[in-house]
Structure 1
Amino acid sequence: MPDQLTPPPPSGPHAHAPRSLIVTFYGAYGRGFPGPVPVAELVRLLGAAGVDAPSVRSAVSRLKRRGLLLPARTGAGTAGYALSDAARQLLEDGDRRVYGARDSGGGWVLAVFSVPEPERAKRHVLRSTLAGLGFGTAAPGVWLAPARLYEEARHTLERIGCAEYVDLFRGEHLGFAATADAVARWWDLPALAGQHEAFLAEHGPVLDAWGRRADTPPRDAYRDYLLALDSWRHLPYADPGLPAALLPDGWPGVRSAAVFRALDERLRAAGERFVNGDREAPAG
């Protein structure tokens, strides 16, 4: 569930910027609201993840200016924010990445583009868009990704107004180098491995801690799930699910995906109870 406004996390602990957390919240829970999410609820729910009220309001304003959130009144007449159509499309695309299978087969989709010199600024737009979708670079103007990303790439290029400059193909790699060696040129595998290791360093201990608990308090579950999802949702775009046979032995993406799936199974539903106002009774 990308927002295409926040960059991928660096190869260290994820910073959990307020704007990113709001996008993550809408992707995980906000679409389940019966209408616009009230501002007071955004403050409460982001507060549970450590974001103060002024930071929430500032981040919401930036997302509104970028066209992801639209101001609207709730059924009770209070101020709230709804997702724009473009934001919903981004989140729906993201669902397949974030929660779908990581491994892929079935060849490649190639994107070959040529931009006239008078419109050369669109070259940067195309390169950054394809990189954001997880495409690797085979040669200048020639990008590729696992074939299952074709539909998402197609309507993303249409949405940004660059489809006329791009031809898309499906194909196989036939040599001359071994495909695993070629993949290591097309993607920066050490950098991708570093992002997976950073996720494991931050959220592996969280999963271990939950494994020692018999209870699942909704507020704690919501906080830990939102932070894990906020870190994880960038990874399926940096690493688009390259075939396991083409990756180095012991690829950390296998472990990071397993940690996220386990956190999702343990925490997501309990977190939804907190979102809906089901708070555990105070201790004592």
Structure 2
Amino acid sequence: MSEQHTPRSLIVTFYGAHGRASSGPVAVAELVRLLAPVGVDAPSVRSSVSRLKRRGLLLPARTPAGAAGYALSPDARQLLEDGDRRIYWPWADRRADEGGWVLAVFSVPEAERNKRHVLRSRLAGLGFGSAAPGVWIAPAHHHEETRHTLERLQLAPYVDLFRGEHLGFAPTAEAVARWWDLASLAKQHEAFLDRHEPVLRAWQARVSTPPDEAYRDHLLALDSWRRLPYADPGLPPHLLPDDWPGARSAEVFRALDERLGEAGRGFVSGAGVG
């Protein structure tokens, strides 16, 4: 297993892709069986599930058959629903949806200064760039998810959100290059392409789609991809370098999802999940 595909990350990816088909819990035994194809052993499943439980994302529950299992908490469902918009909504549509920017301006009392790091970390994790100390910026279409996240983490009292336009003084493309580390983001897209574009080419050369193999390759691609629309918030193309690899990596994921997603879901539902 690569460093990227950690057991905890793969479990979150699994629940996002397959654990919302019904409101019932997923049996621990089924989690163990269905994560084995992507290299997660039983002890890693159990320890990772325990950590997700402590974070309030999974709730212990019994399946209809009486087996021990875990269901998504309401907070986890909101988190995954917000993520759907980033992960599956085509970037071209997202960029064209709303113009302008959302600004998050925060002020934290000195007595609670530990929350400054939490706020910076969470805003960066939502794809915000840093415009100035205490001032973070993202494309306007992320305002709703930002509101949900700050409320869920009880950070909203420290933040004011604004929507507006960039009026200068530097050209917006120059400002964007200061607000985000575009070179680092490009490397993340290139790493995704290096890992998953050959997988797509191999599937395009095949006629059949064995469900077990489709499930494995789709889950791994989704686990890699779902981070990228958070690191890269989907900036307008005219503000990015001409050779920007983001559109290509988005197309590779879309093609893998279209080719493998249905077969992978069939494999999981055949296992009695969902």
Answer yes or no: same fold by TM over 0.5.
Answer: yes
Partner amino acid, structure 1, of 2:185? L
Q: 1:261 aligns with which of 237, 240, 254?
A: 254
SS at match of 1:110: strand
Distance 2:3 2:226 in 1: 11
Equivalent residue letter for 1:112: V
Superposed CA offset, 1:153-173 (max 9, x none): 112111211212111111111
| C-alpha deviation, 1:14, in angstroms | 5.6
Provide the C-alpha distance between the structure 1 equivalents of 2:15 and 2:195, rounded to a whole number of angstroms.
22
Q: CA RMSD in A?
A: 1.4
What residue is the counterpart of 1:67 in the other structure? 56
Amino acid at match of 1:74: T
Q: What does residue 116 of structure 2 align with?
A: 123
> How far is 1:33 from its partner?
3.6
Q: Please say which of residues 63-72 and 222-231 is displaced more in the overlay.
A: 63-72
Are the counterparts in 2 of residues 35 and 82 from structure 1 also a CA contact under 8 Å?
A: yes
Q: 2:85 aligns with which of 96, 107, 110?
A: 96
2:139 is aligned to 146
d(CA) in 1 for partners of 2:173 and 2:102?
17
In 2, are the aligned partners of 1:18 and 1:51 still within 8 Å (CA)?
yes
Q: Distance in 1 between matches of 2:130 and 2:90?
A: 23
Structure 2 distance, partners of 1:276, 1:194, is 36
Matched, 1:58 2:47: yes
* Alignment TM-score, normalising by the size of structure 2: 0.94
Q: 1:217-244 deviations in whole A, cap 9, x for unaligned? A: 0000000000000000000000010111
CA distance in structure 2 between the aligned counterparts of 1:191 and 1:95, rounded to whole angstroms: 24
1:245-277 C-alpha deviation (Å, 9 max, x unpaired) = 100012110110000000000000000111012
Residue type of the alignment partner of 1:156: T
- 1:173 partner letter: H
Quickly say closer, same or farther: Cα 1:70–1:239, change in 2 above 3 A.
same
SS of equivalent to 1:71: strand
After the TM superposition, list the runs of 4 or more consecutive aligned residues in structure 1 that deviate by more than 6 angstroms. Answer: none
Q: Would you say 1:226 and 2:215 are equivalent positions?
A: no
2:233 alignment partner, SS class: coil
Partner residue, 1:187: 180
- Give me the whole-angstrom Cα distance separating, in 1, the residues matched to 2:203 and 2:147: 40
Q: How many residues align?
A: 267
| Identity across the alignment (%) | 76
Q: Are 1:110 and 2:106 matched, yes or no?
A: no
CA 1:143 to 1:34, structure 2 compared with 1: closer, same or farther past 3 Å?
A: closer
Matched, 1:277 2:266: no
Structure number with the higher helix fraction is: 2
Note the alpha carbon deviations across 1:81-124, whole angstroms, 9 max, x for none.
10111111110110001001324250000111111111111111
Q: Write the letter of the residue equivalent to 2:4.
A: A
Gaps of 5+ in 1: 1-12, 279-284
Partner of 2:34: 45
Alpha-carbon distance between aligned partners in 2 of 1:193 and 1:50, rounded to the nearest angstrom: 28
Q: Report the residue type matching 1:45 in the other structure.
A: L
Amino acid of the structure 1 residue aligned with 2:56: G
Candidates 91, 114, 137, aligned match of 2:130: 137
AA aligned opposite 1:40: A
User: In the aligned structure 1, how far is the partner of 2:43 from the partner of 2:34?
Assistant: 13
Please say if residues 214 and 261 of structure 2, whose CA atoms lie closer than 8 Å, have aligned partners that are also in contact: yes
In structure 1, the partner of 2:210 is 217
Q: Distance in 2 between matches of 1:164 and 1:87?
A: 22
> Residue deviations 1:160-206, cap 9 Å, x none?
11212111111111111111111000000000000000000000000
2:60 is paired with a residue whose SS is strand
Give deviations 1:9-43, integer Å, cap 9, x for gaps: xxxx7620011000000000111145110111101
- Quick check: 1:102–1:240 contact (8 Å CA) kept in 2? no
Q: Secondary structure at the match of 1:31?
A: coil
